[in-house]
């Protein structure tokens, strides 16, 4: 079986192929490329050379704007907010996507208490649409598990009941 030699061009094709399918943070793309290198390089010397190629590639993509952790984090946080995620859940998802902590903090700092309340109402209304009971204790527990504070959950419950649908 003819093994394909790992080259800078092949590594770049892998990176572009990944980015065409998924939006990614710098950390996530780096992990994907390192795994690719680990699976496709037989020697430590080739792996070390590939590490340099990865670093070079990531720097170039950041400089050109192809990779931008701040933009990525803002987009993901906004998407999660629209779906009813709490700030705590957004932070966890961004950490899982390997966004640097400083960027996570900056993105989450842009949202205010009203954003958190709107997200809690969305989460509660989604629960109500699924036919789950609107028992107050169960609703508060569900919001707590989703990462909302007790105060936000109480206010969301009042708002969701006042404006169903």
Secondary structure percentages of the chain, helix, strand, coil, to 5: 75, 0, 25
**Residue 24: C-alpha distances to residues 27, 28, 107, 136 (Å):** 8, 6, 16, 39
* Predicted pLDDT of residue 6: 87
pLDDT in tens, 63-119: 999 999 999 999 999 999 999 999 999 999 999 999 999 999 999 999 898 999 999
Q: Where are the domains of the chain?
A: 8-67, 68-111, 112-165
What's the rounded Cα separation, in Å, for the pair 98 and 17?
19
pLDDT at residue 16 is higher than 60: yes
* Predicted pLDDT of residue 5: 79
State the average pLDDT over residues 134-156. Answer: 92
The mean pLDDT of the chain is 91
- Is residue 50 within 8 Å of residue 41, measured between CB atoms? yes
* Predicted pLDDT of residue 3: 53
Dihedrals φ, ψ of 133, to 5°? -60, 150
* Predicted pLDDT of residue 27: 96
């Amino acid at each position: 079986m003819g093994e394909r030699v790992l080259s800078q061009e092949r590594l770049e094709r892998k990176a572009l192929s990944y980015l065409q399918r998924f939006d990614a943070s710098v950390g996530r793309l780096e992990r994907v490329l390192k795994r690719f290198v680990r699976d496709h390089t037989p020697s430590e010397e080739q792996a070390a050379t590939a590490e340099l190629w990865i670093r070079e590639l990531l720097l170039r993509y950041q400089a050109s704007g192809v990779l931008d952790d701040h933009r990525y984090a803002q987009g993901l946080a906004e998407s999660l907010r629209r779906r009813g995620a709490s700030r705590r859940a957004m932070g966890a998802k961004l950490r899982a996507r390997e966004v640097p902590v400083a960027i996570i903090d900056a993105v989450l700092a842009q949202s205010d208490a009203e954003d958190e309340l709107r997200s809690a109402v969305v989460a509660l209304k989604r629960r109500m649409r699924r036919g789950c009971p609107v028992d107050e204790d169960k609703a508060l527990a569900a919001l707590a598990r989703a990462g909302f504070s007790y105060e936000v959950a109480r206010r969301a419950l009042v708002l969701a009941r006042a404006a169903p649908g």
